[in-house]
């Protein structure tokens, strides 16, 4: 826990000017997006990081710097569009809802982000995708698409599988980190995903944390649970060490 606090303090300082020091403008199908890239050196393993329903904000940038300190290059992708960082709940629902309804577009944006990361020197051949909340649902979409990544990780992410989809093409392993007290994504959904992954023969690990509600890793919010955050980050770190070269 003490290590996590020290790391967060350092990353808060490192990320204050992210719009100047790490922002990356890129295009997908002629539309502008703005991600954030931090390199840990040539051929470092890559983490594709997907934001929650706030869009790409300082939160993902702080997490990117935490990962970079561990030796990983990180591309925090933008799935909403350059300058689109909704603050009202209705706007957040609109932007996420559009992508939930258009899964082809969601996959195009995810694959476009991977292609952009590769252009910047990201090692997409030794990579894991990770996401928070809405970003977790997007990561599972990427997993079902058959993207050739080594792993897919969700923190309190959406777990449902759209009608007509399955995990038969999933290439890497899955790590699902979830709060038992999450009322937005219920334990029934958690169990349904476990059953589906087992039936599909997908290598997976699924962990729940007692007393942790939805968005339990978002420090500074009333939903933040330090114990669950520390434990899930520790397991994530171990997973990356084993999964990536």
Q: Can you tell me the mean pLDDT for 230-241?
A: 98
Rounded to an integer, what distance in angstroms lies between the CA atom of residue 169 and that of residue 40?
A: 30
For the residues of 3-69, what is the DSSP string, one character each? HHHHHHHHHHHHTTTHHHHTEEEEEETTEEEEEEEE--STT-EEEEEE--TT-S-HHHHHHHHHHHH
Average pLDDT, the chain: 92
Name the CATH superfamily, with its identifier, for domain 2-243. Alpha/Beta hydrolase fold, catalytic domain (3.40.50.1820)
Quote the Cα angle for 105-141-210, to 5°.
135
- When pLDDT is averaged across residues 88-112 and rounded to a whole number, the result is 97
What is the pLDDT at residue 20? Answer: 44
d(CA 75, CA 37): 5
- Check the CA dihedral 59-62-64-67 and report its sign: negative
* pLDDT tens figures, 169-198: 999 999 999 999 999 999 999 999 999 999
Return the bridge partners of 31, or none.
Answer: 28
Q: What is the pTM of this model?
A: 0.92
What share of the chain has pLDDT > 90, as a percent?
Answer: 90
Q: What is the pLDDT of residues 102-158, one digit of tens each?
A: 999 999 999 999 999 999 999 999 999 999 999 999 999 999 999 999 999 999 999
Identify the CA nearest to 170 among candidates 196, 190, 134.
196
Q: How does pLDDT run across 39-48, given as a tens digit for each residue?
A: 999 999 999 9
Tell me the mean pLDDT in the region 214-218.
Answer: 98
Q: Does the pLDDT at position 36 exceed 50?
A: yes
Sorting pLDDT into bands at 50, 70 and 90, what band is 18? very low
Q: Give the domain ranges of the chain.
A: 2-243
């Amino acid at each position: 826990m003490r290590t996590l606090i020290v790391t967060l303090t350092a990353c808060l300082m490192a990320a204050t000017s992210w719009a100047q020091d790490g922002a990356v403008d890129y295009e997908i199908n002629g539309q502008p997006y703005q991600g954030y890239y931090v390199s840990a050196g040539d051929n470092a393993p890559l983490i594709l990081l997907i934001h929650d329903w706030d869009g790409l904000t300082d939160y993902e940038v702080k997490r990117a710097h935490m990962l970079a300190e561990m030796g990983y290059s990180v591309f925090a992708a933008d799935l909403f569009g350059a300058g689109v960082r909704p603050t009202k709940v209705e706007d957040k629902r609109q932007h996420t809802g559009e992508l939930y309804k258009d899964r082809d577009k969601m996959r195009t944006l995810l694959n476009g982000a991977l292609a952009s990361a590769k252009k910047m020197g990201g090692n997409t051949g030794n990579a894991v995708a990770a996401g928070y909340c809405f970003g977790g649902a997007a990561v599972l979409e990427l997993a079902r698409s058959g993207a050739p990544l080594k792993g897919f990780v969700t923190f309190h992410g959406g777990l449902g599988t759209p009608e007509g989809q399955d995990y038969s093409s999933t290439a890497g392993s899955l790590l699902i980190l979830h709060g038992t007290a999450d009322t937005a994504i219920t334990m029934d959904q958690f169990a349904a995903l476990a059953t589906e992954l087992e039936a599909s023969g997908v290598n997976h690990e699924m962990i729940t944390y007692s007393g942790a509600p939805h968005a339990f890793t978002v420090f500074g919010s009333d939903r933040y649970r330090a114990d669950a955050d520390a434990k899930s980050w520790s397991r994530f770190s171990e997973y990356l060490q084993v999964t990536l070269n």
